[in-house]
Chain A
Amino acid sequence: MNPAFLALVTIVGGVAACVSYFYAANLILDKFLFPPDGPNAGRNINRANLIRPWLFLFPALFVLTLYLAYPVIETIRLSLTDRSQDGAFVGLDNYTQMMSEPKFWEAMRNNMLWLIVVPALSTAIGLLAAQLTDRIKWGNIAKAIIFMPMAISFVGAAVIWKLVYDARPPDAEQIGILNALYIWFTSDEPQQWLTIPFWNNFFLMTVLIWIETGFAMVILSAALRGIPEETIEAAIIDGANPFEIFFKIKVPQIMGTILVVWTTITIKVLKVFDIVFAMTNGQWETQVLANYMFDKFFRANDWNVGSASAMVIMLLVMPILVWNVFNARKEMR
C-alpha cells in the first residue's frame, strides 16, 4: 500500500475510531448500564459518574503505560539479565562491565560538562536577551531571530554548525567563519575544531546553547513582564541603578521561573543524542551517554549493557522528576 494512502487512512480511521469509542462508551454507560431514570436513577447517576472518568482516560492511560511505564520496567529487567544466557539474572554484572569501559567514563565526564555548561549559559544568555529585548522597539524581531533555532532540527543545526567549524588546507581560502576569524586575528594555521580533544566538547555544546537560548529567553521574558511594577518603581525612587534593579529586584523575583528553565534544559541535555551523532559520533573524546547507549544497542547489539546505560540516564533524570512531581502537587493544593 502506498504510504501516503496509508497515512490518510490512518488519520481518518484514527480520528473516527477515537470519536466513536468515546461516543459509544458513553452511550452504553448512559443507556444500558446505568440509565439515569427508573427506580434507581440517583444511584445510577452516581455510579455512571464514577466510571465515566476512566472511560475518558482509558486510551491515553493505555498508551502511556505501554509506551512509557512498561519500557522503564522492562529496561530495568534487561539491565539485570544477560541475553546471551537466555535472559538469566546476572545481578549487577552489566553495570560492572559498563563501568570497566573507558568510553563509559568518557561519556560520563562529558555529560557532566554538558550538564554544567549548557543549562547555565543558555539560561544566562536567555535572561540577558530577555532583559535587553524588552527595552527596545525592535525587540520582537530580535526575539524571533534568537528564538528561531528552536524550530530547526538537531541534525539541521549540526550541518549549520559544521559549516561554521569547517577547516580547509592552510593555503586555501577558508570557508568556515570560525577559522576565517581565527586566522584573521592570530595568523595561525586553520584548526580542525571538532578534533581537538576536550575543547571540541564545547564546540558541540555551542550548538545546543544556540538552540536552547531562545526557549529560555521566551519563558524568562514573560516572567520579567509579570514582575509587579511597584517594586521596580520603588527601587528607582530609592536610587538604585539599572544593574542593581536587575540583579537585586528582578532576578530574585523570577528565581522560580529560572529554576524551571534550568531543569527543563537539563533534561534536554541528558537526552542529547542527534548533535553528537551527526557531528562527531563520539569520536575524538566527545562521547555522551545517549550516544554511548545507541552505540551499545544498535552497533554492538549489546542490549543488556545498553539498558544499564539507559538506567544511568534515568537515574540522572530522577531528582528532576521528583522535584517536578513535588511542585505539581504543591500547585494543585
Chain B
Amino acid sequence: MDNIAGSKSSLTWAVHISVVVLVLLWLFPTLGLLVSSFRTADQIYSSGWWGSIFTQESQNPAIRISGEETRDGPLYVNEGDLFPQTDAIVSAWGTSSRAPQAHVPGDTVQLKDDWQLTLDATGKYRLTSPTSFQGTRLPRIFTTATAPPEFTLENYETMLFSPTNSENMVKAFFNTLTVTIPATIIPILVAAFAAYALAWMRFPGRALLIAFIVALLVVPLQLALIPLLKLHLNIGIGKGYVGVWLAHTGFGMPLAIYLLRNYMVGLPKDIIENARVDGATEFQIFMRIILPLSFPALAAFAIFQFLWVWNDLLVGLVFLIDSTGETTIMTRQIIELLGTRGGNWEILATAAFVSIAVPLIVFFTLQKYLVRGLLAGSVK
C-alpha cells in the first residue's frame, strides 16, 4: 500500500524485526519442550535446552574412575575413557570439587600414595601407582568439556514401547482416539440435517430456533456437568465411552449447526429451486446437493471438533474416567505425571509431545479449512 504512494516505508525493517521477535516468542516455549523430549535426564538438568542445539562447553558431573587394573612393569595401571560414547573435548579438569578446573589436558598430577593421573583432551585417562589399587577408593575426575549437540529417542522408546513402564502413553493414546473419532463424526450428520432445515426450509419459529442455538453457543459447559452425570447414572450409561460420546456430541452441536447453517445459507439458491422443480425430494436434495457442496464447512467443523475433543480434559474427567483408570485419556495422564513426576522433564516433555503431535499434524495439513471455519463462525 505504501508503494502505491511512491515512498517505500522506512518502517519495513522495523516490521521485519518485530515479526521475527513475535514469532520467536511464540515458538520458543514449544521448541523448548520439543528439544527437551529428545535429551536424556542428565542433559536436561546439566544445561538449558537452548544451549543443546550448539556445541557448548559445560562442566560435567564428577566421574569416579572404575575398572580393572593392569600391570605395566613395576606399576599398577588403570586406563580408560571417561566419555566412551561421546566426542567431548576436555578443556580443563581437576580432582577435587574445590578446584574442578585446576589442570589442562595432558597434565600429569601427583596424588596421594605416589599415584599419578593424566588425562588427555579426548577423555582418556591413565592412573598409575607403585602398589595395587585393590581395596582403595579411586579418585574422581571433574571435567569441563565441549560436547557436540546430542539427541536421543530413548524417551520416546520408554514412553511408547516399553511394556514394563506403567506410565506408558500407548493405552491413553488409543483411549483418546477411541473417544475422539465417534465424537467427531456423529454430531456432523445430525447437525447437517438440522442446519439444512434452518437454512432452506420456511416454517414458523425458525428465527426463534436460530436465536436459541446462538444462545446455546456460549452456555458454559460447566453448568452441564452435574445434571448430565446424574442423568447418565440414572439411565444406566454410567461413566464410560458411551457417556463421553454423547456429551461431546451435545456440547459440539450448537457450533456445528451454527457453522453449517451459515455456510448453507450462502449456497446458490437456483440449484436448490431447480432440483425442487424437477421433483427431487428434500431428502434427495440434501444428500445429493447440499452435503457435497458443504464439504468445506463440514471439514472445518470436523477439525474443530477433533481438536476440541482430543484436547479436552474436563468432559473426559467427568463422564469417562472411572476409578479403575482403565479408560484414562492422554490429557488426564499428563496431569497425573505433573503430580507424580513434576521434576522429571524428560518424561513430561515426551508425554506432552505424544499428545500434542496428532493435533499439530492435523493443524498444519488442514489449516486452510480451519481458518475458513473460524471466519464463518467466530462465536464459540
Contact = CB atoms under 8 A, between A and B. Distances in A.
Contacts of B348: 159, 162-163
Contacts of B223: 71-72, 75, 310-311, 313-314
Interface stretch (B131-139, B157-165, B186-194): B186-194
Contact of B282 (A52, A125, A177, A180): A52
B205 to A, nearest CB: 9
Contacts of A142: 19, 22-23
Contact of B210 (A61, A146, A328): A328
A222 B213 CA distance: 25
Given A52-B282, A64-B250, A321-B218, A59 B194 contact: yes
Most chain A CB inside 10 Å of its own CB: which residue of B210, B215, B227, B310: B227
Contact of A161 (B1, B29, B212, B310): B29
B371 A153 contact: no
B26 A72 contact: no
A60 B254 CA distance: 9
Q: Interface residues of A: mostly helix, strand, loop or mixed?
A: helix
A174 B194 contact: no
B339 to A, nearest CB: 9
Contacts of A150: 307, 363
B349 A307 contact: no
A322 B141 CA distance: 71
Contacts of A60: 190-191, 193-194, 253, 257
B314 interface: yes
Contacts of A271: 220-222
A190 interface: no
B30 A320 contact: no
What's the dominant secondary structure at chain B's contact region? helix
B226 interface: yes
A74 to B, nearest CB: 4
A174 B50 CA distance: 11
Nearest to A271: B220
Contacts of B230: 74
A320 B219 contact: no
Contact of B331 (A153, A290, A297): A153
Interface in B292-345: 307, 310-314, 317-318, 327, 331, 334-335, 338, 345
B16 A152 contact: no
Nearest to B207: A332
Contacts of B226: 71, 74-75, 78, 297, 303, 306-307, 310
Contacts of A145: 23, 26-27
Interface string A286-319: 0000100110011000010011001101100100
Contacts of A52: 197, 201, 282
B189 A136 contact: no
Contact of B189 (A15, A154, A264, A303): A15
B75 interface: no
Interface string B252-273: 0110010000000000000000
Contacts of B18: 128, 132
A148 B282 CA distance: 40
B30 A160 contact: yes
Contacts, number: 341
Contacts of A135: 12, 15
A67 B241 contact: no
B281 A159 contact: no
Contacts of A108: none
B25 to A, nearest CB: 8
A210 B29 contact: yes
A57 B196 CA distance: 9
Interface centre among B191, B215, B226, B348 (most CB of A within 10 A): B226
Contacts of B338: 158-159, 162, 278
Given A14-B186, A160-B352, A317-B220, A154 B16 contact: no
B2 A242 contact: yes
A277 B313 CA distance: 10
B283 A136 contact: no
Interface stretch (B63-71, B118-126, B177-185): B177-185
B95 interface: no
Nearest to A150: B363
B217 interface: yes
A155 interface: yes
Interface stretch (A18-26, A114-122, A195-203): A18-26
Interface of B: 1-2, 4-5, 9, 11-12, 15-16, 18-19, 22-23, 26-30, 32-33, 36, 44-50, 58, 174-175, 178, 181-182, 185-186, 189-191, 193-194, 196-198, 201, 203, 206-207, 209-228, 230-231, 241-242, 245-247, 249-251, 253-254, 257, 281-283, 286, 307, 310-314, 317-318, 327, 331, 334-335, 338, 345, 348-349, 351-352, 355-356, 359-360, 362-364, 367, 371, 374-375, 378-380
The 5 closest A-B pairs by CB, nearest first: A67-B250, A153-B311, A60-B194, A151-B363, A74-B227
Given A145-B23, A293-B222, 13 more contacts: A10-B182, A18-B190, A30-B281, A56-B193, A72-B224, A78-B227, A148-B30, A150-B307, A163-B29, A298-B317, A307-B226, A311-B223, A313-B220
